[in-house]
Chain A
Amino acid sequence: MVYSYYPGCTLKTKAKELDKNARLCAQALGFTLEEVEAWQCCGAVYPMGTDEIATKLPAVRALHAADEKGQSIVTLCSACHHVLKRVNEDMRQDKDLRTKVNNYIAQEEEPYTYNGEANVLHYLEVLRDQVGFDNLAAKVKNPLAGRKIGAYYGCMLLRPSSVMQFDDPENPTIFEDFIKAIGAEPVVYPYRNECCGGYISLKEKEMAEEMAGKIADNALSKGAEVLITACPLCLYNMDKKTGETLPTVYFTEFLAEALGIKEE
């Protein structure tokens, strides 16, 4: 299976290991990630303004590029996934936006129309729905037995649930199922879908630290030794606060380790 792959800026800079391990694991698991050509930054935040289309165009271009190839588009970064998925839904549901965007694209050098046809998948969804966690477990060479891993979902993968359609926003299980598949023990803790503070860490450091601290305390109290996440921003906030007592790593690192292909 070949997927269009939208890495996003952070995976090219601060979160290289999220990207690198994901590509390696894809190979090992028998699917290919084909990077979208000339992709642009998704904007990192889903634009709430309704009178401006420019902020949604990069997502539309990537979505169209994948759709033109007849491929689903796969993302890793929670923020990119969130933006792509929601813009795609907007292109399906919001007639006004669709008209404006398509009118704009009609003026470009290679015009096309886009109506939200693309299928947006998160890497974890590929593991769950395409590869299958049972198949994944069968390919694990180096089970992480005895490791107590807390899944940290954050908010962007789950909400708004009607659009993201990722998992139950209150009691998600996809990360826990993943942790089981790689042979480790999932630690379920109630704060696993709370917000880490997101970009508030730029403006109000203390507030972000307090929010991240609560998540870490909760995970520690339930016995977690390490947290996994798909989100570079979550990792940044968590690491800043509790990097020493409770490290946070990208889920793809553990995946690579379990598959026995992690490069040191």
Chain B
Amino acid sequence: MQRIGVFVCHCGTNIAGTVDVAEIVEMAKPEPGVVHAAEYPYMCSEAGQNMIINAVKEHNLSGVVICSCSPRMHEATFRKAAEKAGLNPYMVEIANIREHCSWIHKDKAEATQKALTLTRAAIAKVQLNSPLFPDESPVTKRALVIGGGIAGIQTALDIADAGFEVDIVESTPSIGGKMAQLDKTFPTLDCAACILTPKMVDASAHENITLYTYSQVDKVEGFVGDFTVTIRKKARSVDFEKCTGCGACSEKCPSKKSPSEFDQGLCTRPAIYTPFAQAVPNVPVIDREACLKFKTGKCGLCETVCAPKAINFEQEDELVERKYGAVVMATGYEPVSLDKFGEYSYDSSPDVITSLEFERLTNAAGPTGGALTRLSDKRKPKSVTFIQCVGSRDVTQRGKAYCSKICCMYTAKHAMLIKEKYPDIEVNIFYIDVRTPGKAFDEFYRRAEDEYGVRYIKGQVGKVIDNGDHLQIQAVDMLDNKKMELQTDMVVLATAIEPVESAKSIATMLTASIDTNNFMTEAHPKLRPVESPTAGVFLSGVCQGPKDIPETVAQAGAAAAKVIGLLVKDKLMSNPCTAKPDELYCNGCSVCENVCPYGAISYEDCEVNDHGVREVRRVAQVNKALCQGCGACAVTCPSGAMDLQGFSNRQIQAEVDAICR
């Protein structure tokens, strides 16, 4: 029989307001095994913890039940307190009487009854607890960053500066990401390239950073501290070592009709290309679907003009296997498809463009050299109209329920960029709400309206009609409560952003969770915002949720700090609450192996001694480093051979019995 202490927390009035704490203490005392029960306003405070420590010593407690908030909040706190008192930390159980009880109930008598039930269940469980001991595992002191935009670059630079090796895997031929496509950045209007390209060069030149561009993650195995990742280096058809980046190949390439990905399809590029002039690395790739040599076997002009003989048509994809201690997701975003938004005539009218296309159009290095012209007739527009929240804050199936967060600011920026260059162009902005929290952000938006005379119209656009020489907009002016029509020459759609499609499959490989919008889930939305719930996986940039450049850079640094905190450790202590098979009961059926999401279960032929009979049987083995303690195997095992330490079948049964008593 354990000697159990029960400690009931008031949590100020959070618990005590709805649950009669004194009654819980009194009712807990006669429970089997309970030798001490006490209450305190804040059990997590230092005084509260000392109260537990002293009680353990004074009453020689062997098990502790804390009736308080969720174990996600303070389980670790109380385990540490128990350890200080000389107890095994796994002899502590939490009865969650806050989130599961006081916060969700109003009636005090009922809530008290429920809190008592939860307390009895925890007491019944701790009766069967036994000390558990974590294992140690080594840490590979190298990090992988997936995605080479500003998020990935900043995370990699920060980790590398701390003295650890970092690899960046980027799917396109150059690092830089979306930021490289932007013209100016809000709220200071400094040029994106001017502040980004030095960082790209730094990343490329850093002795601790290896770039895998035009590459993708094919496979991830292992666990925190010891990931094994297979990287596919897609065939560039250009020898990386020999290429000098002179550009002669791109110049001579006769197949120049492919839409430029970097310029959002507003102009074309050759089949052998670097995405943009400042690309890092400055080594071109051959787009095999556009290349005449690959399509017809004839041509090879690039090979002829390449002085260092770097062109290699026979090059194949290369698979590289590397080990990492930590992985950072920095996969970024894409604007949503506008297929389901027919009312804006994006597909049918060349003068309706997206904001990202506008960035290229207004960029001095863009397809028009920064001149603002209509794509239909190359005429300078007299009026440009922006439509915000295209697909954002849209609760219908076609849209995204969330706010894309960056659009209000970049639309104000676009408006100002137009007015700076062409004060005579009339600029209208349709908005639902203007949301500009952030340092110097609201001032920025007000400047657009007050100083530059941008017309903000509160209302949504119902239809954009292309009448040839101009566009006609049907909308509602919500402040006037009137339908309105507006003639304009160009429409720019502030399109919602969503995580890149590949993020989902990469997250699956990492067994990291994603939310309903395919954004990566944080371990805790407030307290652990840059960590995934999967140990060793960290989050940087828009893959976790919409954010602008300053926020992305801040989060990138935070993710790097977490990675560094992990990589400086020589060994990791694993969670001992893992699955454990009983080889006498196991019949080797493979059911548990099939349900294990972490690949932690394998089978071995073992000699077992079954009541005096010695024989070799195929039995399940659990890799404790891989096991995350989810319990899927334990509930699936038909013979009851699999058990989860700390949450054994007997313990769960005891809890259920206590609840049903």
* Chain A residues in the interface with B (C-beta under 8 A): 162, 168-171, 190-191
Whether B465 lies near A168 (C-beta < 8 A) is no
Type the 1/0 row for B370-397, where 1 means its CB is closer than 8 Å to any CB of A.
Answer: 0000000000000000000000000001
Whether B342 lies near A170 (C-beta < 8 A) is yes
Chain B min CB distance to A101 (Å): 27
* Residue picked from A168, A169, A190, A191, most chain B C-beta under 10 Å: A190
Chain A min CB distance to B467 (Å): 8
Q: Which of B343, B397, B466, B467 interacts with A162 by CB under 8 Å?
A: B397
| A169 cross-chain contacts in B, Cβ below 8 A | 342
Whether A190 lies near B343 (C-beta < 8 A) is no
Chain B min CB distance to A155 (Å): 12
How far is it, in angstroms, between the C-alpha of A27 and the C-alpha of B118 when the chains are bound? 73
| B467 cross-chain contacts in A, Cβ below 8 A | 190
Q: Which of B348, B397, B472 interacts with A171 by CB under 8 Å?
A: B348
15 A–B contacts, CB within 8 A, in A order: A162-B397, A168-B342, A169-B342, A170-B341, A170-B342, A170-B343, A170-B463, A171-B342, A171-B348, A190-B463, A190-B465, A190-B466, A190-B467, A190-B472, A191-B465
How far is it, in angstroms, between the C-alpha of A244 and the C-alpha of B644 when the chains are bound? 83
Summarize B's interface: helix, strand, loop or mixed.
Answer: mixed
| A170 cross-chain contacts in B, Cβ below 8 A | 341-343, 463
| A190 cross-chain contacts in B, Cβ below 8 A | 463, 465-467, 472
| B348 cross-chain contacts in A, Cβ below 8 A | 171
Find residues 526-550 in chain B having any chain A CB closer than 8 Å to their own CB: none
* Residue picked from B341, B397, B467, most chain A C-beta under 10 Å: B467
Number of CB contacts from chain A to chain B under 8 A: 15
| A168 cross-chain contacts in B, Cβ below 8 A | 342
How far is it, in angstroms, between the C-alpha of A162 and the C-alpha of B348 when the chains are bound? 23
Residue in A closest to B474 when the chains form the complex, CB atoms: A194
Chain B residues bordering chain A, tally (CB within 8 A): 10
How far is it, in angstroms, between the C-alpha of A191 and the C-alpha of B343 when the chains are bound? 11
| A191 cross-chain contacts in B, Cβ below 8 A | 465
How far is it, in angstroms, between the C-alpha of A190 and the C-alpha of B463 when the chains are bound? 9
* Residue picked from B342, B397, B466, B467, most chain A C-beta under 10 Å: B342
Residue in A closest to B397 when the chains form the complex, CB atoms: A162
Sorted nearest first, the 8 A-B pairs with minimum C-beta distance are A170-B342, A190-B465, A171-B342, A170-B343, A168-B342, A190-B463, A162-B397, A171-B348
How far is it, in angstroms, between the C-alpha of A168 and the C-alpha of B398 when the chains are bound? 13
How far is it, in angstroms, between the C-alpha of A2 and the C-alpha of B636 when the chains are bound? 53
Residue in A closest to B341 when the chains form the complex, CB atoms: A170
How far is it, in angstroms, between the C-alpha of A190 and the C-alpha of B466 when the chains are bound? 8
Find residues 297-346 in chain B having any chain A CB closer than 8 Å to their own CB: 341-343
How far is it, in angstroms, between the C-alpha of A49 and the C-alpha of B220 when the chains are bound? 55
What would 13 more interface pairs be, CB under 8 Å, given A170-B341, A191-B465? A162-B397, A168-B342, A169-B342, A170-B342, A170-B343, A170-B463, A171-B342, A171-B348, A190-B463, A190-B465, A190-B466, A190-B467, A190-B472
Residue in A closest to B463 when the chains form the complex, CB atoms: A190
How far is it, in angstroms, between the C-alpha of A15 and the C-alpha of B299 when the chains are bound? 68
How far is it, in angstroms, between the C-alpha of A131 and the C-alpha of B472 when the chains are bound? 38
How far is it, in angstroms, between the C-alpha of A192 and the C-alpha of B471 when the chains are bound? 17
| B397 cross-chain contacts in A, Cβ below 8 A | 162
How far is it, in angstroms, between the C-alpha of A144 and the C-alpha of B157 when the chains are bound? 71
How far is it, in angstroms, between the C-alpha of A171 and the C-alpha of B472 when the chains are bound? 16
| B465 cross-chain contacts in A, Cβ below 8 A | 190-191
Chain B min CB distance to A220 (Å): 13
Chain A min CB distance to B398 (Å): 10
How far is it, in angstroms, between the C-alpha of A138 and the C-alpha of B343 when the chains are bound? 34
Residue in A closest to B348 when the chains form the complex, CB atoms: A171
How far is it, in angstroms, between the C-alpha of A162 and the C-alpha of B342 when the chains are bound? 15
Chain B min CB distance to A47 (Å): 22
Find residues 377-432 in chain B having any chain A CB closer than 8 Å to their own CB: 397
* Residue picked from B341, B343, B397, B466, most chain A C-beta under 10 Å: B343
Chain B min CB distance to A154 (Å): 15
Residue in B closest to A221 when the chains form the complex, CB atoms: B467
Chain A min CB distance to B491 (Å): 14
How far is it, in angstroms, between the C-alpha of A162 and the C-alpha of B341 when the chains are bound? 14
